A and B are shown apart, each in its own frame.
Chain A
Amino acid sequence: MDREIEIDLARRLIAGDAGAFDRFVEHFQTKIFRHAWLMCRNREDAEEVAQEALLRVFEKFDQLKTPERVRPWVFQIARNECLMKRRRSIFAPERELSLEELMPVREMRDGGFRIEIADWSILPENEVLQSEMRGVLADAIAALPDNYRPVILLRDMEEMSTEETAQILGLSEDVVRTRLHRARLALRKDLDRYFRAHPAGKSATKEEGKE
């Protein structure tokens, strides 16, 4: 659902239109659940976060001054609920990712400079992700340090702006940009490793089948 529809639902809820209620709840329950699941990888916690965040959302709906900001506003609330749950969940600890560790391997060959990159051409961009690929991505996201994961989830998956992400996470925009770049580089590196281990047409599932 794009932002226009969310904004329209928020306006209707503010105006007291009960017809918008179910759709709003269903839409944001799924969205918050998926975000929380990727944050903590625990279904029960993610469901509780979604439910508790929605309750806060409705309790405070009159504080949403601009319906245009409904998505970041809801995610700000969801973020707080995630942090409350955090005490009980296992998270990858906070640490900094350095650019150095994310650089591709460089070598001199044939009198020139080369970097090692797997063959990514098996990846058609618009194809619906195979479940194997989804697993690789989910694991790569889970492996990110705790202070990087929400940045990439909000910026790339939830399509928030740098400014909105900075506000939700209480960070400066520069820090959001830096962490986003490094989180993307880390995902790229994990995907590259995956493509290297599974060249065109050789899925992990097939390999397992051979054993």
Chain B
Amino acid sequence: MLKVVEIDHLTIQYPDVKAIDDVSFTVNQGDFLGIIGPNGAGKSTLFASMLSLNTKYKGTIKFFGTDIRKSRNYLKEIGYVPQKPIFEKNFPATVNDVVKMGLQKESDENKIDEILQQLWIHELSKKRIGELSGGQQQRVFIAKALVNNPKVLILDEPVTGIDQQSIDLFYSILKELNSKQNITIIWSSHDLDAVNKLANHVACLNRTLFFHGESDDFFSNDDLVKQYSEASMQEHMHHH
């Protein structure tokens, strides 16, 4: 089985706290990995390192067998959808413009139409990005992430603040991408039910990794689920 990501003894030290503490895990091709953990568990920090946005970490991160400190070529194979894409509300870019930004080769313009149709946003292609609803915007950013035919899709809590109908559509699209196109998906979420339904692997992160394995093993183990829920609840109370 082809190893897509190998994370080995990853530690990220912030001035006052360890954001990630000695985390190791592997993601194989075709995995649909749900990374769950409470707010502040280090999910976004982990992703920032995996995407070379943060290079101040100890340990190694490999994509397709190559240390990402040595080459950033792996980024061409990755589609990334951030938690909430930040852009100027009045930015004069149409849906088509935004998806095209993700396109590495200008020649693939037909691909844009194809992706927009696949994500049911074809009729919006000439609208300004800032005029769309949150759910529609998120689909545009997925389209942008997919337009290069990535091997891996990395999604950081991608449904924050989106209506349920859009979420359901979004999940069915992810499921299809993973099962039909064999795209490896690494997806952080705090929605346990959704992870249970979609992911075939689960990683529980709360600065340290306290579970990583098949999702059936996690969800059939009441102790683990309870442990996760308690940790999550404590963190929740801590935050409020």
A and B bound? Answer: no
